[in-house]
Amino acid sequence: MTFIDERADTSAAACRAFGSVITAMVTPFDHRGEPDDAGASTLARWLTQPGWNDGIVVNGTTGESVATSDREKASMVQCVTQAVRDRGTKVIAGVGAGDTRHSVALAMAAASQGADGLLVVAPYYSRPSQRGILEHFLAIADSTPLPVMLYDIPKRTGVAVEPDTFVAAAKHPRIVAVKDAKGDLESSAWVMERTNLAYFSGDDALNLPLLSIGAVGFVSVVGHVVGNRLRDLLDSYQQGRVAEARDIHRELLPIYRGMFRAPAAASVKAALTSQGLPGGPVRLPLVGLTEEETQLLVQDLASVRVPSSQPA
């Protein structure tokens, strides 16, 4: 009983640190492909209207972090933090990089610009050993006083974070959560059993399945357009209305499919444009949706009755 209570306490603390319904926000660009600070502020406030997201990730995968400079990343943290601070929204900065020193520098810059937490993906391309991944995580966690959410997405990084690595990382007092996009529910369940790490679904199609094994929230892409329904899904499940949560999950299936038919950043920006919200173009090597792809996405949005887009 003591362990169960401790786990509940740490999960609640993680939600206070990061939020529970979190959208990984795009980086809006203007027609020249330069960061649109005013658009970012407008979008951040739209995402955090009452009943929607209580957390925002900036400079993540959907934020095209591999295509933005360190200066642009720091500016995004500052801009979004200023836009939503009066709402109590948590701003989590993605600090992923292929080398540890770069990630540490990004973490320190994010902390100086007011970020509330860090999202730390396994270093990509080099495919380090599990010991190397652990040392990478610990070095970043040591570099600032901010809470850390680890991000496991092997289809992008080229290497999965093994359960034993999570167990070791969880001993660090600031490593408190995981964004899980591995797609391996058994592995995730073992980590939940062996640690107090709070799990957040990082794969929208698995939001409900991950809740069923102990996840406490979402870091979403589709939260750009249906953040209110994700909130309803989470509330329904946590309040024991499981059939209602299942119905919402099924209702959102066309959005899950539509947003990932093409690279997510391009799909989200097309969806935002269709709703009259800031997004703008993507940067190469991503390309915008074709007319046919856009029409299919708009049909998906219409099938789920996406809310009216009056920026809050």
Residue 237 catalytic? Answer: no
CA 15 from chain center: how many Å?
A: 13
Q: At what angle do helices 264-274 and 291-303 cross, to 10 degrees?
A: 70
The one catalytic residue in 179, 182, 256, 269 is 179
The one catalytic residue in 73, 90, 151, 237 is 151
Q: How many CA atoms lie within 13 A of 281 on its CB side?
A: 12
Residue 151 catalytic? Answer: yes
User: What contacts 190, CB < 8 A, 6 or more positions away?
Assistant: 163
- Rounded Cα–Cα distance for residues 135 and 113 (Å): 25
Nearest to 109 by CA among 74, 146, 140, 72: 74
Tokens 């119905």 map to which residue?
A: 247
Residue 12 structure tokens = 């609640």
Residues serving a catalytic function are 151, 179
